[in-house]
Each structure stands twice: as structure tokens, then as C-alpha cells.
Amino acid sequence: MIVARPDPVSIALRDPRALPGWTLAQWEALIRQARRANLISRLAVLLDEQGLLDDVPAAPRAHLEAARVVSQAQAEAVRREVAYIGKALARTGVDIVLLKGAAYLFAGLPAARGRVFSDVDILVPEAAIPEVEAALMLHGWATTHHDPYDQRYYRRWMHELPPMLHVTRQTVLDVHHAIVPTTARLKPDSAKLLAASRPVEGDSRLRILAPPDMVLHSAAHLFLNEDLTGGLRDIADLDSLLRHFGQDAGFWQALAARARELDLARPLYYALRYATRILDTPVPAQALQAAETDRPPAWLRRLMDGLFLRALRPAHVSAADRFTALARRALYVRAHWLRMPPLLLAYHLTIKAFRKEQESPS
């Protein structure tokens, strides 16, 4: 399979200095794809930080500036929502470990700049899940996915509660007790993640994962996920985290050691491989060499390149080739294969197929 040339969004993120010279047709393709990839506001911030936003033609600049305003409003909304969550859980005494976008925001990381948010994710000890859920329900959050099978699927086999929706604010909260499903082949120890977490400055009950764990969680989330429509945004997150934390000379060695300790060496291998290939992430040769010890066989590596280098493009028709849909379907199946043992997977897919048949019009 032949992989198509880099998409405009990846090109723009790698070298924003070239953008002011683009034609309006190129800008149109970039804006459309960046919007679908949830990266238009990040691109706006990147151009602004480099003093290039005023050099962008007026029409695409209007889209970029509007997207930046939206991302700023979302960041403020997340700050308020986390305050509500903290208030709801105050009496439980449970520390709240923020994950993904909320963590980047409260840690003041570059990955938060221009990022869009769809929900808030938190990690708590599994033993605290009943108390946490009850406290949240008392403060207006309600469970979703009311079908009995869906409830059992989440509570018995997954790494999180069914998403919780606040009845008045309509905000979504994902409460995790692990970072991968309990049925998955990889078994990162949540207790180690919680033990190594660090307090957020100004609020000792709010915590974030340690830098290596933050990268590993992002890698596991992306490379065990069945839905890669937002994959390029996740690669951009990894790129930003690696660039920022990688300035610490001891980070790379700690990252490799922690990946082996948490059983996440293979996701880290893929994260480094595709971040460097797609966004030219600066990873030391020694770190790449250390990750190579956990690489898949050559035939599988070539197959994964053909799949991921297509799926990790904007989910827009202009960024696809004739194999893109097949690549996304194959990675959907792969993710389920990695997340469930064969018998459980067969049972789950049978339930989903039966439900789809029931819902289809007669």
C-alpha cells in the first residue's frame, strides 16, 4: 500500500512559517481539514505565538481567530467545571487526578494552548468509585448509556464509569479507575499512576500524572483506541508533551523505564514512531533506539505503518485515499482485539450486531 503525501494540517503544524505564502485554495483545504481534526484553534495559537497571524489572508484569518476565541472560552468552562467537581467530591476526601486536556490546562502545559475540550476526565482509586459516583449524583451528574448491557459493559469490563452528564450544565464527565480496560491485554497498574501523581499548584486535592505517565497515558489512549477520527489531535498532544518534557535531560530515560514498568512499551514505540514521522517531533536517537527493543516484527510494522499513517490524518474526504476507510476499519477491529479476550469480544460484537439489526428500519 502506498501512503499519500503529508496532509496540510501536519505540514502547517511542522512549519507554520510557510503558511502566509499559501494560496487561498491551499488555505481552504487547511481550514476544512484542521476543523475536522479539532486543530484549527491550536493552529491559530501557533501562528499568533510566532507573530504570523496578521500575515494570513483575511478570510482564513477570520476562521482562525474565531476558533481561538472558542478554545479560550472552553478553557474557562473547563476550569469552572473542575471547580464544581472538586466541590462535589470534597467530603469524600478522594484526591482528583485530572487526565488529558484538563490536566494539560491545570498544569499550564503548552499542549493546553488552543486545545478544544469535549469533556473532563478524572482518575480515582477503583475502591472509591461507588462513593465518588454517589457524591457526583448528589450534585447533579447522572449516568448515561441506560441500556442494561451498556451499564454492565462499562462497570464490569471497562476502565471507567458510563459517561456522566450534568443535568443542568449538560457537561460530560468521565470517571476512570484505570487508563485501559480491565479486560485489555496490557495491564498498567493504576496504583502506581496514582502514587506518582503530583499536586496542582494552589490546590492540593487536584493532581496530575507525572510527566512520563502523562505521555504514556496519551500513547495508550491513542494506540488502543477504536475511534481514530481525532487521532491527529492526539499525535499533536504527544508532540507537544514530548517537546516540553524532553527539555529535561533525565526525562527520556525515565520514560523508557516507566513504559516497561507499566506494560506500555509497545504504545510508546508507536507514539515515538508516528510523532517523529508525522510532526518531526525531536526525539533523541538514544530514546528511539530504546523504544526499538519493543517494536513489532517487520511484517507487522509495515502493516501498521500503512494503517496508522492513513488513520492519523484529518477525518476529511480531502485527506483520504482509497485505502483510508479500510485502514480505519482494520484499526477498529485491532483495538477491540487488544481490549477484550476472544470469547468476550465475540459476545460483545454479537450483541452490537444484534442491536444494530434491531435498530435498522424494516
Q: Tell me if 168 sits within 8 A of 140, measured CB to CB.
A: yes
pLDDT at 190 over 50: yes
Model pLDDT for residues 118-146, shown as the tens digit of each residue: 899 999 999 999 999 999 999 999 999 98
Q: Is the pLDDT of residue 102 over 60?
A: yes
pLDDT at 185 over 90: yes
In this prediction, residue 214 carries a pLDDT of 98
Per-residue confidence (pLDDT) for residue 2, from 0 to 100: 46
Look at residues 292, 287, 282 and name the one whose alpha carbon lies nearest to residue 247. Answer: 282
Beta bridge partners of 160: 176
Report the mean per-residue pLDDT for the chain.
93
pLDDT band for position 349 (cuts 50, 70, 90): confident
| Distance linking the first and last C-alpha atoms of the chain | 39
Element spanning 87, H or E: helix 58-89
Residue 112 half-sphere exposure toward CB, CA atoms < 13 A:
18
What is the value of pTM for the model shown?
0.93
Residue 199: per-residue pLDDT: 95
